[in-house]
Structure 1
Amino acid sequence: MAETGPAWIDPEIGESLRGFPDFDFSLDKLPAMRSGSMFEPQSAPDIERFELTTDDVALSVLRPVESAAEPPVLFWMHGGGMVIGNRHMDDARLIEWCRWLGCVCVSVEYRLAPESPYPAPLDDCEAGLRFVVEHADELEINPQQVGIAGRSAGGALAASLAMRWRDNANAPLAFQYLEYPMLDDRGLTASSRLEGLPVWTRESNAFGWRSYLGDRYRTEDVPGDAAPARATELSGLPSTFIGVGTADCLRDESINFAARLCRSGVPTELHVYAGAVHGFDMFADTAVARTAARDSADWLARQFGRRTVV
């Protein structure tokens, strides 16, 4: 029997989706979508924040007011299908992680497609990460405990950055955390062909990849650090977390990538959440979102050698 996406959406999420806006990504709608996705910085009394502008990129740095000497770092790449969003859009999540994990969170402002296609966004992420590592003393962080993370398009950039970092013989990263990541432009999996899914449709996914890859889209001229599922060598990558929902068009490529990482000897933890749609963390009051938040915080705490209670 063929899969039908909306039929197996978690009931709580399904209720939350009533009246939810239709995210139909297209070139003519992009200006309006961007105007609604330029988030303002958030603050918290127990979290210090400051903004850095390097020669190449802008970075937001969040750290607990009371932090240990040389805390670990989570380097974050936001989502938005490669075409919308900014470095402040996940501040609420990053503030929570700073608080729970005792870490510093750094969010990078990368250029957006289609105006700036591959490799520009990835170049920005790499430049931001390199700045953090090379200025560890000034930032008062531990350069030996830097992990990278992202969701959706940010998950694609995180996976791509991990490959670049490994290939350039840099000091090993502590981990890569990939939340429902975009990994494959080819649309070969069963889930990538599902119709009628909310939040992130197969059509929006195609638009995001086409914007990012330009004329390379779905050709043989796509390197592994552009679409991570195409990479032929996954050994030597850092410990990995992948989380995705069953009602997400990115489900199968996430599962396949996790399996390949395991076969390549990479410590990998995969969580597949029944009935969860793309971006289901937006529905924070649902049971499945709360479970996923605990799983993520627990795994990240273990990477930092800490314990946390969420």
Structure 2
Amino acid sequence: MPVPPFDPELAVVLAALDPEALAPVTPENLRAVQERDVNARPRPTVEELGDGGRFEVAELSVPGPPGGPEVTLVSGRPAGLAGRPLPLLLYMHGGGMVMGNAWSVLPRVLNDWAEPLGMAVLSVEYRLAPQTPYPGPLEDCYAALVWAVEHAAELGVDPDRILIGGKSAGGGLAAGLALLTRDRGGPAVLGQVLLCPMLDDRMSGFSSRQMSGIDIGDLTSHATFWQAYLGDDLYGSADVPPYAAPTRATDLSGLPPAYIDVGSAEMFRDENIAYADAIWRAGGQAELHVWPGAFHSFDGIAPNATISQDARATRTRWLRRLLAGGDGRS
């Protein structure tokens, strides 16, 4: 089937990626893929994350969900901003729910979000599937959010200006967390930043098929990720809860303002567009950006491309408006 063209700068980067890293992930090779990811994504130390004193970084262990272990959070904030409460971003890393860690994503989040916006960050080391399937990872994130609000003074953050966000699987967790905290009457969240979020276990959008194996990822890999996250009892059933797969939600009212961005040439395009549309239909606020010719996670993989710089600048403007007391709209 025809596919949309890639942005020229991004096409060069995509063509140069290691084919092994793009090979399909199956239930049979998942463990090996996880081990390879651990080796390829070393965790920076607290000193390295501090970047020569630019940032104040610490590792925290906080109470986890009932019956679960403690949750590790990596805390970071620009140096020299003590004395006033900062807005806080609770960030969930990507990795298909089966890979990634809270440390390796922090440098980019600190540079792209925390420093220009004067914001504190808590990066959540949620448990990974399939070792811990749903709801474990999401409950880890909820426990982290509740703890952050209860300890806002200790953290030096403003409990009325807490945002949640993430990329890919982390964006899906952030969307699920927004639904969960709404329905539990949990902490109020100022906004949700969903970067190419993983939302639809059914992979029902046309783009899922159109861009499979052309974008970063394919149907086989994403089916493996969803099966690992949902477990054998839920995967493929009609009983998948919206907190696990937010496109399953039938009520998207009462959510915090959402910023959603996605590429026109990636598998998650249509589910992201549909999610923004569902928020609008429910009377909510969402700002959607579909970046032309962009593949999945383009701004992280090709950070110097012009379109990546545009995406970061646009996201920063939305956050600045929201933090200034607006609703994210111009």
TM-score interval w.r.t. the shorter chain?
Answer: over 0.9
SS of equivalent to 1:60: strand
Q: Secondary structure at the match of 2:216?
A: coil
Decide whether the 8 Å contact of 1:146 with 1:174 is kept in 2.
yes
Question: Which residue does 1:243 correspond to in 2?
Answer: 261
Corresponding position of 2:40: 36
Question: 2:193 is matched with which residue?
Answer: 177
Choose 19-28 or 217-226, whichever is displaced more. Answer: 19-28
Give the alignment partner of residue 80 of structure 1, picking from 95, 118, 125.
95
Instruction: Note the C-alpha offset of 1:43.
Output: 2.4
Which of 303, 321, 327 in structure 2 is aligned with 1:284? 303
Q: Which residue of 1 aligns with 2:120?
A: 104
In structure 2, the residue matched to 1:221 is 239
The number of residues matched between the two structures is: 304
Check the 8 A contact 2:215/2:267 in 1, yes or no: no
Aligned to 1:51: 59
- Structure 2 gaps, min length 5: 64-69
Q: Distance in 2 between matches of 1:176 and 1:267?
A: 10
Question: CA 1:297–1:306 in 2, change beyond 3 Å: closer, same or farther?
Answer: farther
- Alpha-carbon distance change, 38 to 85 in structure 1, aligned in 2, over 3 angstroms: farther
* Equivalent pair of 1:284/1:290 in contact (CA under 8 Å): yes
* Between 62-71 and 173-182, the greater mean CA deviation after superposition: 62-71
Q: Distance in 1 between matches of 2:43 and 2:171?
A: 19
Counterpart Cα distance in 1 of 2:186 and 2:228:
30
Q: CA RMSD in A?
A: 1.6
Q: Name the counterpart of 2:16.
A: 19
Secondary structure (helix, strand or coil) at the match of 1:72 reads: strand
Partner of 1:295, secondary structure, is helix
2:67 maps to none
Deviation at 1:302, TM superposition (A): 1.3
Aligned counterparts of 2:42 and 2:132: Cα–Cα separation in 1: 17
In structure 1, the partner of 2:77 is 63
Structure-1 residue corresponding to 2:2? 3
Kindly indicate whether the alpha-carbon contact (under 8 Å) linking 2:85 and 2:158 is maintained by their aligned counterparts in 1: yes
Structure 2 contact 226–235 (Cα < 8 Å) conserved: yes
Q: Which moved more, 1:93-102 or 1:30-39?
A: 30-39
1:262-301 per-position Cα deviation (integer Å, ceiling 9, x unaligned): 1111111000001100010120111111110111111111
C-alpha distance in structure 2 between counterparts of 1:175 and 1:303, whole Å: 8
Among 244, 259, 267, the alignment partner of 2:285 is: 267
Offset of 1:36 from its aligned partner? 1.7
CA contact (8 A) 2:263 2:291 kept: yes
Name the CA distance, whole Å, in 1 between partners of 2:220 and 2:41.
20
1:26 to partner: Cα distance: 3.0
SS in 2 for 1:142: strand
- Is the counterpart of residue 130 in structure 1 residue 146 in structure 2? yes
Name the counterpart of 1:305.
Answer: 324
The CA distance in 2 between the partners of 1:197 and 1:300, in whole Å, is 32
User: Which amino acid counterpart does residue 208 of structure 2 have in structure 1?
Assistant: S
Q: How far did 1:306 drift? A: 8.1
| 1:209 lines up with 2:226 in the alignment | yes
Matches of 1:252 and 1:263 in 2, distance apart? 16
What SS is found at the alignment partner of 2:247?
helix
Aligned to 1:258: 276
Q: Contact 2:176 / 2:243 at 8 angstroms: preserved in 1? A: yes
Equivalent pair of 1:185/1:209 in contact (CA under 8 Å): yes
Query: Is contact 1:78-1:87 (8 Å) kept?
Result: yes
Q: Which one of 198, 206, 210 corresponds to residue 190 of structure 1?
A: 206
Aligned mates of 1:61, 1:204 — CA distance in 2: 31
> Aligned in 2, Cα 1:254/1:305: closer, same or farther, shift over 3 Å?
same
